Amino acid sequence: MAVIRKDDNTFLGWCGIKFDHSSGKYDLGFRFFKKYWNQGFASEYANASLKYGFETLKIPMILGRAMEKI
């Protein structure tokens, strides 16, 4: 899903849950433009996405992965 800042409708990036057909599992992903890093947006939207996935969609397990910052 697109992440839009409400104050000024600025597109910050995206966040959401996707289903990987090859593994049969769901995972959480997000990407934000670098100028919006370290402002809490990823945490806020990741938490909202997880809540939606577990409570509304009733997904039993959602994977999260991290890449090493280079």
pTM of the model: 0.79
Closest residue by Cα to residue 46 from 1, 6, 16, 10: 16
The second-level CATH assignment, the architecture, of 2-64 is 3-Layer(aba) Sandwich (3.40)
In whole angstroms, give the CA distance from residue 44 to residue 24. Answer: 26
Domain ranges of the chain: 2-64
- The confidence score (pLDDT) of residue 70 equals 67
In whole angstroms, give the CA distance from residue 13 to residue 3. Answer: 5
- 70 residues of the chain, pLDDT tens digit each: 899 999 999 999 999 999 999 999 999 988 999 999 999 998 999 999 999 999 999 999 999 887 777 6
